[in-house]
Amino acid sequence: MIYHDTLEFANDLDAQDELKNFRNEFLFPQHDGKDAIYLCGNSLGLQPKSVQQYVQAQLSNWQEHGVEGWFHPEAKWLEYHLQLKEPLSKILGAKTEEITVMNSLTVNLHLLLVSFYKPINNKYKILMEGGAFPSDQYAIESQVKFHGFDPKDAIIEVFPREGEYTLRTEDILSAIENNADELALVMFSGLNYYTGQVFDMKAIAGQHLCLCPQCTKLLHHAFVKRTACPRDPKPQCKDCPTHCYAKVYREQIREVMRFSGMRLLLRGRIDYLFHLFF
Ligand SMILES: Cc1ncc(COP(=O)(O)O)c(C=O)c1O
């Protein structure tokens, strides 16, 4: 499609937009007596017209049932999160059993960092987008301090080039590459709240291991299986009496584990290997 910087072209695209009727489902702040032109959907979106009725229904449940609202058939707060799994799985592209709804974003970020930020020796730095949402910055700062590091030294922020407003993927990738020996974690939001820039997460996530998509999938599968191995001590997969995966995959998985294990070793991630093998 060739874009034209004209009102006519914009109106034409609006007319073809299959989702255009959803505009009527939202409440617009008023500006000079007219609906405001609202471009902040990447941060706090507009209020859907239906929200008030749903919130009011729960306030009424609370009013009528008090603490029994947790179990009362009209409210069922105890099972509320289960209702959200199915619709969220479609939005997130995840399986329903992989989803749970809990906490605020910052609390979840801390929980993720507890699992994934494992600084060791000289690998303790976190690389992130410059100008991330303030609470994201504070969460990272808290985690770094919690592990005894100085945020000024341990947090590497990548900013747009002078005169530019968004980050170039190539700059993010080279920042990861240039700091690889000291990095323990790379943290990027999928979308910057302020500029609306969508980051190429596939490229960013793939930067640390040069694996093709098929091998990445196999490796991930092997990691999950290996971590969940119920045997104690965990035997070498080749000596295991009950194999986790079909014979046809065994040689491929062995190869991808050998390759990535070597890279983890070279990058100083002995802790990951220890976690996987013992
Ligand atoms: C982009 C972004 N990050 C983080 C937060 C913080 O979320 P929470 O208050 O759930 O921790 C918000 C909240 O508006 C947000 O918009």
- Atom index in ligand 1 nearest the CA of residue 104 equals 10
pLDDT computed for residue 257 by the predictor: 79
User: How far, CA to CA in Å, does 180 sit from each of 18, 184, 201?
Assistant: 44, 8, 17
- Determine what percent of the chain is predicted with pLDDT higher than 70: 92
Residues 202 and 273 in one domain: no
Q: What mean pLDDT is reported for the chain? A: 88
- CA diameter of the chain: 75
Looking at 180, 206, 232, the residue that finishes a domain is 206
Does residue 122 sit in the same domain as residue 202? Answer: yes
Number of separate domains in the chain? 4
Report whether residue 105 contacts ligand 1, using a CB cutoff of 6 Å: yes
Tell me: do 159 and 195 sit in the same domain: yes
pTM for the full predicted model: 0.68
Query: What are the tens digits of pLDDT across the range 211-257?
Result: 667 777 787 788 788 878 888 888 877 788 888 878 878 888 888 77
Mean pLDDT for the stretch of residues 39-63: 93
> Does residue 193's CB lie within 6 angstroms of at least one atom of ligand 1?
yes
Residue at 14 is within a domain: yes
Cβ-count burial of 175 within 10 angstroms (0-12 exposed, 13-18 middle, 19+ buried)? buried
Rounded mean pLDDT, 266-276: 58
Domain enclosing residue 227, as ranges: 213-277
Residue 111 sits in the same domain as residue 198: yes
Residues 171 and 110 in one domain: yes
Residue 106, ligand 1, Cβ within 6 A: yes
Domain boundary among 206, 237, 261: 206
Do 131 and 197 lie in one domain? The reply is: yes
Which residue, judged by its Cα, is nearest atom 13 of ligand 1? 105
What is the per-residue pLDDT across 5-49, written as a single tens digit (0 to 9) for each? 999 999 999 999 999 999 999 999 999 999 999 988 877 899 999
Residue of 85, 80, 60, 84 whose CA lies nearest to 70: 80
Atom of ligand 1 nearest to the CA of 191: 1
Tell whether 180 and 120 lie within a shared domain: yes
Statement to judge: residues 20 and 109 lie in one domain: no
User: What confidence tens digit (pLDDT) does each residue in 72-113 have?
Assistant: 999 999 998 999 999 999 998 899 999 999 999 999 999 999
Per the domain annotation, does 242 fall within a domain?
yes
Does residue 118 share a domain with residue 199? yes
Co-location of 195 and 259 in the same domain: no
Residue 125 lies in a domain: yes
- Are 16 and 79 in a shared domain? no
Asked if the structure places residue 83 within a domain, the reply is yes
- Domain identity same for 199 and 120: yes
Atom of ligand 1 nearest to the CA of 109: 11
Token pair listed for 195: 């500029």
Among 98, 131, 165, the domain boundary falls at 98
Determine the average pLDDT of the residues in 154-178.
95
How far is the C-alpha of 133 from the C-alpha of 217, rounded, in Å? 31
User: Residue 270: what pLDDT?
Assistant: 60
Q: Give the CATH number for residue 137.
A: 3.40.640.10
Q: Is residue 1 part of a domain?
A: no
Q: Confirm whether 2 is domain-assigned.
A: no
Confidence category of residue 266, pLDDT binned at 50, 70, 90: low
Q: Which two tokens stand for residue 39?
A: 């471009």
